Amino acid sequence: MTRRPFSFLSIFAGTVAALSIAATLSMAFRYNAARRAAPSQAAPSKTSDQNSDVKPDGTARPTAQSWTGSPLEFEYANRDQTLRIQKVMDLLKIKRGSRVADVGAGGGWLSVRLARRVEASGLVYAQEILPKYTQFIAQRARREGFQNIRTILGTTDNPKLPANSLDAVVILNAYHEFDKPLAMLRQIRASMKAGARLGFIERDEPALRREAQEAYAKTGVIKRRLGERSDNNPATDDHRLAREIVQREAASAGFKAVKTVDLEAPFYVVVVQR
Ligand SMILES: C[S@@+](CC[C@H](N)C(=O)[O-])C[C@H]1O[C@@H](n2cnc3c(N)ncnc32)[C@H](O)[C@@H]1O
């Protein structure tokens, strides 16, 4: 008689203990299962192989061989229309009195158009890494009577532009050649006033853009300059660059997106601002 309450209590206590152990085990199992599932939902991890061509400035793509041809190469007919260059200058808010830079100016095709737009009260920095082009532009400016063009010789990671002073910067058909694109963009940004705009004019096409998007979705990095035929011959080397790469690199250098506009195919302009 005296043992019945004791056995009832023992059974009750044993059941409660068993249930709480089962609940704890079930929680632990669910927690571990969730931890195992988590990596597939996170950003794609980067293996050391994928990062093997990341440059010191953080860019993970090879760049085109730098152009060294005639300074007159880009003076071809209809270039104003193909690049809709007056519209590009409007998008960049370039006007009379503006201080602007043409980075990677080559023979100065764009520098003289900028000089006409900003007029005598404005200033154009025609910037290059090769002295043969800055010398050509300086002579050209004298010959054509532009007193508002100044040449600047920079390096591949520093354009040597004056700090905090520019209203706009244009990089025409040159960004794909920049050996250290992010280092250049950070320096260019530092040369611009707050709110000043930067325009990249480059070439791409739908298949190249799809390739860029798919590669990024798969690996989380752009391993190579997509569409490249790397035969190291500047005459046949492919100088296209998907706009997504330009947009992404500009953002990582601290620029804010403004808009990307199609020019005459295959050209486009990506506009960003400090
Ligand atoms: C294809 S040319 C274009 C010239 C000019 N912008 C035009 O379209 O008429 C590219 C130019 O970019 C210059 N360049 C390449 N890397 C550069 C860099 N890191 N900084 C400045 N200029 C660079 C080259 O010297 C070359 O003159």
* Residue with more model confidence, 31 or 177: 177
The pLDDT confidence band at residue 10, using thresholds 50, 70 and 90, is: low
Mean pLDDT of 185-189: 97
Q: Which residues line ligand 1 (CB under 6 A)?
A: 66-67, 74, 103-106, 109-110, 128-130, 133, 154, 156, 172-174, 177-179, 184
Q: Which of 98, 149, 159 is nearest to 125 (CA)?
A: 149
The pLDDT confidence band at residue 41, using thresholds 50, 70 and 90, is: very low
| Full DSSP string of 56-68 | TTS--S--PPPP-
Q: In angstroms, what is the span from residue 128 Cα to ligand 1's centroid?
A: 6
pLDDT at 258 over 70: yes
Give residues with Cβ within 8 angstroms of 178, minimum separation 6.
Answer: 63, 104, 156, 184
Nearest CA to ligand 1 atom 22: 104
Mean pLDDT of 116-142: 98
- The rounded distance, in Å, linking the Cα atoms of 103 and 126 is 7
- Mutation choice for ligand 1 from 128, 134, 175, 180, CB with most ligand atoms inside 8 A: 128
Would you state the structure tokens that stand for residue 36, as one six-digit string?
A: 């195992």
Maximum CA extent, the chain: 122
Check residue 63 and give its pLDDT: 72
Q: Which of 168, 228, 239 is nearest to 203 (CA)?
A: 239
Q: Which of 174, 175, 183 is nearest to 155 (CA)?
A: 183
Check residue 27 and give its pLDDT: 43
Range with the largest mean pLDDT of 8-17, 136-145, 237-246: 136-145
Tell me, yes or no, if the pTM score tops 0.75. Answer: yes
Q: Do the Cβ atoms of 134 and 112 come closer than 8 Å?
A: no
The pLDDT confidence band at residue 219, using thresholds 50, 70 and 90, is: low
User: Are β-strands 256-262 and 192-203 bridged in parallel, bridged antiparallel, or unpaired?
Assistant: unpaired
Mean pLDDT of 231-244: 66
Mean pLDDT of 42-56: 38
Check residue 26 and give its pLDDT: 47
Round the average pLDDT of the chain to a whole number and report it: 80
- Give the helix ranges, DSSP H, for the chain: 3-41, 79-82, 85-91, 109-118, 131-144, 181-191, 206-219, 243-252
Check residue 194 and give its pLDDT: 98
Query: Tokens 């998907």, residue?
Result: 242
Check residue 208 and give its pLDDT: 78
Q: Which amino acid is at 15?
A: T
User: CATH 3.40.50.300: does it fit domain 79-273?
Assistant: no
